[in-house]
Structure 1
Amino acid sequence: MTETATDGARAVVKVMVVDDHPMWRDAVARDLAAAGFAVVATAGDGRQAVRRARAAAPDVLVLDLNLPELPGVQVCKELVGSLPGMRVLVLSASGEHADVLEAVKSGATGYLLKSASTEELVAAVRRTADGDAVFTPGLAGLVLGEYRRLAAEPVAERGTADPGAPRLTDRETEVLRLVAKGLSYKQIADRLVISHRTVQNHVQNTLGKLQLHNRVELVRYAIERGLDDPADSP
């Protein structure tokens, strides 16, 4: 049974599947339910997805980009803004770099190609629920490369740092540095010899202090400040 930790209890991860092809949508929903997830809703177009997601409040939204009525990236933008506790895993047939970057900039925390196996999908949904940024092999480097490109732009083009930004603890900074390097929560926990849950707590505290919404925004924040510099490795 796939579960997420809560204070004093464990709850089944709630998942919603959005795709305009009924057979594909039903198959994905069936596979995820068989793996122990609670499939709380499905939708076949963008506007329906927004309505049903707001009603069902899933933990993870498995989202296709090519949708009628409202594009997947717009669905992502609207829902990430109104359901900050929800994470979005894009499941798309497109591996085009522009599509990947647009999805991430819209708030998606992961991007998986439809050529992935059922086992890969299940693992990706589980990791997304745990707070990891999950990408089809090769795409993670693309996203990190784009963030580094943006970070290299003149400060005047991307805004100056807020001198009144909240201070992070040494441990939060240490975790943030490893997040910026692309390590998963489990890898960070192993590196720092702390629990997976403790890593999650540090990341959530950092997100709150910096007023960011998800791990993807956190990675960009860290890279813009040079925290992915190999010279800073612990």
Structure 2
Amino acid sequence: MDVEIWSDIMCPFCYIGKRKFEHALSQFPHKDQVNIVWKSFQLNPDMQTEPGKNINQYLSEIKGWSLDEAKQMNDRVTAMAQEVGLSYDFDKAVVANSFDAHRLIQLAKQNGLGDAIEERLFKAYFTEGRDTSDHDTLVELGTEIGLDATVIQQMLAGTEFTEAVHGDVYEAQQVGARGVPFFVLNRRYAVSGAQQPETFLGALDTAWAEWAKTNPVIPQLTADGPTCTPGEIC
């Protein structure tokens, strides 16, 4: 059963929602048959990368808040993150356009590493204060999870996966996502926001019950024995 997750790496609730969903999934009896599909979503496609400015300053400017008000809000979010074991440092977070990071996510997905790159990018942005628009940084983060450095460099130098990112953003509109995180289960049920694990677990149970009706799982009652597989000489 597919669970599609629309997310932006600069969204603090997306990282928190990832942890809460993971907690729910760990309790789900059929977790081994759940396929997580990460989808791109840009909260601010026009954001200009400004390495010398942190998120507190950015929010103060675009929201018309004082710097203290922006910091207080982010302090509350930091406390929420701590509740699920995450460490946020908004004083270090770099204002950066996330488009190239999303292209890297698309490359990682193609190689079965979608979850790994999401996790690495979230940590780089919210905890380490890395510039996630910088190509050298993206190459480093991608190679850490097992991607080839040359492949990443070639991708970033061109326009590869641009349409894939735009396609995910368009698809978000079609499924009713107006913000992130946005979870779609079995293309039938949606959960919006960083909900509590109990909410995610209930959604998984409901979606699974419907999915299983048309995708029956054959139970294996005994341990594995000797078998022949296609292409083998037995």
Common fold: TM-score over 0.5: no
TM-score (norm 2): 0.22
The structure that has the greater radius of gyration is 2
TM-score (norm 1): 0.22
Of structures 1 and 2, the one scoring higher in RCO (CA 8 A, sep 6+) is: 2
